Amino acid sequence: MDYLQGLNPEQRAAVEQTEGPVMIIAGAGSGKTRVITYRVAHLIRKGVDSFNILVLTFTNKAAREMRERITHVVGTEAKNIWMGTFHSVFAKILRVEAEKIGYPSNFTIYDTDDSKSVLRAVLKEMNLDDKLYNVNFVLNRISASKNNLISWQEYNKNEQIQADDFSSGRGQMGKIYEMYATRCYRAGAMDFDDLLYKTNELLKLHPDVLNKYQHKFKYLMVDEYQDTNFSQYLIVKKLAAVNENLCVVGDDAQSIYAFRGANIQNILNFEKDYPDLKVFKLEQNYRSTQNIVNVANSIIRNNKEQLKKNVFSEKEAGDKIKVMRAFSDNEEGKIVAEAIMQDRSSKGLKWGAFAILYRTNAQSRSMEEALRKLGIPYKIYGGLSFYQRKEIKDLIAYFRLTFNPNDEEALKRVINYPKRGIGDTSVDKIIVAADQHGITPWEVIVEPGKYLEGKISGAVGTFATMIQSFQVLARTKSAYESALYIAQHSGLLKDLYEDKSVEGLNRYENIQELLNGIKEFSEREDIEEKGLDIFMQDVALLTNDDNDKNKDADTVSLMTIHSSKGLEFPQVYVVGLEENLFPSQMSLNSRSDLEEERRLFYVAVTRAESKLHISYATSRFKFGTLISCEPSRFLDEIDPKFLELDYTARPTTNSNASFDDDRKAWSRDKQPDTFSKPKPASQAPVKTTAMLAKAHVPSANFKPSDTSNLQVGMEVEHERFGFGKVISLEGNKPDIKATIFFKEIGQKQLLLKFAKLYIIQ
């Protein structure tokens, strides 16, 4: 029981409460993973069979980390636990039970690109406008329907749904959904949403299967329960119905995935489903300093829908949170990059200690440019993953076709790659023949003489024979041997090798890296099944955290706040705290949407361990136009005693400024009629953020003047700093420096040849 000694009283109580329904509300940095892993280990130590424990997570990384920790406590018994993401666990069950709902056990799992390809084919066949029926919109609509367990039949019968579709001019959505589902079924394929949708269907239509898994999984634990959707909620509820030994762990304050279908009500209303529920609150934050925790608390207390908790930290108070104001998004990037450079130098930190978090991917541009100019190494997370590269998808399509020849998307992808004389026209003929005879394209290809005419028959027959040879080999050889054979004999490896361009070399090396990964998979000792089909399933079920192999590189991390959830960094920069950006403009239509944006800000703040910076710009380019921005309302919600206003334009001592007052001040006319003689800098009044909230917008007649005859006392306009008066001139041509007092920002010294001043008088 020594593993329990390191737990605080509330953590230990949660670990030892093994029976009945339990909810663990885990604040940010409160040791949630430790509690889950020790609770599972404690169950096994008490005599629970590890085969009877199911642990559901949202990332493979979380599952791996938990299993490793459990292994340290209970040894190899940890291998027997059913542990993984919702999709991976239920894909495993569907492999065993799929035939009961009409699918082959070797069904293909379609990724987003595959699904979009099917939908494009459907839209083309239906002769629909792909602008009105945008493929992303259509896929999201179908995904939302599946996550709410609405079949295409129910979709077409629902009067409200039909009315919504027709009112938006998309009256064919139901038919598209039907054809998409039919195509996937015919191809023996499930998309990601189907893995949950079809599991619900399986458990509903086959009580014997439900009973089997209800008695198998006697203890269930669900991590990140606040992120579950209706489909996941229903599966968990059904599986736990017999024993009710269900433990859910999560934090309503970190529920940020409503756009994916997550329903915060699942955790808020959990007690209604289980009146005998025991609740444990993990409120001590072990990650962040007191100031950071206090800022997070002051933000989230503004949400009405929440489970109350009092998160605290016993670490040092730490630095106040710096709020940095920039005149533009480019200057914001410059300020952030310079601050990172300075802190790294002065504190001896690695680049990997820093993270820049933003609301939208588009914000990375200004950050990247600033980091590059200073030579700071960085990595953007959430970009194109290794397994989304074309050459990798091409080879995996061959693998998919080997195990499921009815996979139409894989077939279309490789039937003429490398080129073998089967062009688009020939592929269309194959698909038409399949539709006419009510069979799959593969059945046409296997007997081309029966369904096709001319030269196409011979080329198609040769292709079919090749795939059949792959099928025979894959039944007896290891994953690596099968993969290498397919790469070589498909012609793909040769085609890439013969491309001597830099891009061709990179693609060839990527294939070699994939084969290396399969070889490593084949030699793993912690798994029993090592076939190529199992490797493909693992690849299909990868979550975003698994795609990057260079996680330990010493680089500054750039990512959206959504991507940062579950991570932590010594120093964090949260950028773009402006109205209509964060909170986003789309979130201002309802309280629930605004509260999710606030939870997103809470997540961003709680990623920081020792130092947190927040920045905003007073102007930003949007669709090629420079627009004025105002500070985010979220800044006003932070208790000012925890803030330090760090404005590079000039020093400030007023840390109690109100951002709301700033916005009101800027609603007044800011252009001066006259200028009074400025006080010396030491006597100049310190301005609040009200006077600095917006960037200057140049006058309509603004045009840089010839400044060769500029004199002290002249009034000028600068395109960024606004209106000012020349105080002094020094130096000789062409390097004359002008000291100018600008009404909005104070005194600045400018080199005239670069200043671009408009002389007013």
The one catalytic residue in 32, 39, 359, 412 is 32
Burial class (CB in 10 A: 0-12, 13-18, 19+), 91: buried
Cβ neighbour number for residue 397 with a 10 Å cutoff: 23
The one catalytic residue in 223, 252, 407, 609 is 223
Cα gap 245→266, rounded to integer Å: 17
Cβ neighbour number for residue 361 with a 10 Å cutoff: 14
Cα gap 159→585, rounded to integer Å: 31
To the query of whether residue 164 is one of the catalytic residues in this protein, the response is no
Angle at 310 between CA 570 and CA 562, to 5 degrees: 45
Q: Report helix, strand or coil for 11.
A: helix
- With b for 16 or more beta-carbon neighbours within 10 A and e for fewer, the 586-610 pattern comes to ebeeeeebbbbbbbbbbbbbbbbbb
Residue found by looking up tokens 């993270």 in the block? 355
Tokens matching residue 695:
């960037």
Question: Is 29 marked within a binding site?
Answer: yes
Q: DSSP states of 661-712 as a string?
A: HHHHHTTS----S--PPPPPTTTSPPP-GGGGSSPPPPPTT------TT--T
Cα gap 379→758, rounded to integer Å: 41
Question: Is 26 marked within a binding site?
Answer: yes
To the query of whether residue 315 is one of the catalytic residues in this protein, the response is no
Question: Is 477 marked within a binding site?
Answer: no
To the query of whether residue 223 is one of the catalytic residues in this protein, the response is yes
Tokens matching residue 104:
């082959």
The one catalytic residue in 607, 620, 694, 725 is 607
The one catalytic residue in 17, 18, 33, 652 is 33
Question: Is 30 marked within a binding site?
Answer: yes
Orientation of helix 112-125 relative to helix 135-147, angle to 10°: 110
Asked if residues 78 and 67 have their Cβ atoms less than 8 Å apart, the reply is: yes
Cα gap 307→296, rounded to integer Å: 15
The phi and psi torsions of 641 (rounded to 5 degrees) equal -70, -15
Using alpha carbons, select from 649, 644, 633, 634 the residue that is nearest to residue 602: 634
Asked if residues 329 and 620 have their Cβ atoms less than 8 Å apart, the reply is: yes
Cα gap 518→507, rounded to integer Å: 17
Asked if residues 739 and 728 have their Cβ atoms less than 8 Å apart, the reply is: yes
The phi and psi torsions of 504 (rounded to 5 degrees) equal -65, -40
To the query of whether residue 254 is one of the catalytic residues in this protein, the response is yes
- Running DSSP on this structure, what letter comes out for residue 252? G
The one catalytic residue in 97, 114, 194, 224 is 224
The one catalytic residue in 254, 306, 537, 571 is 254
Using alpha carbons, select from 571, 672, 575, 562 the residue that is nearest to residue 631: 575
Orientation of helix 192-205 relative to helix 207-216, angle to 10°: 100
To the query of whether residue 412 is one of the catalytic residues in this protein, the response is no
Strands 219-222 and 246-250, by their bridges, are parallel
Tokens matching residue 683:
């006597």
Half-sphere exposure of 552 (CA within 13 A, CB side): 0
To the query of whether residue 224 is one of the catalytic residues in this protein, the response is yes
Q: H or E stretch including 68?
A: helix 60-74
Q: Report helix, strand or coil for 738.
A: strand
Tokens matching residue 366:
């200004």
**Which residues contribute to the annotated binding site for ATP?**
26-33
Give me the active site residues, please.
32-33, 223-224, 254, 607
Q: Which residues are annotated as a binding site?
A: 26-33
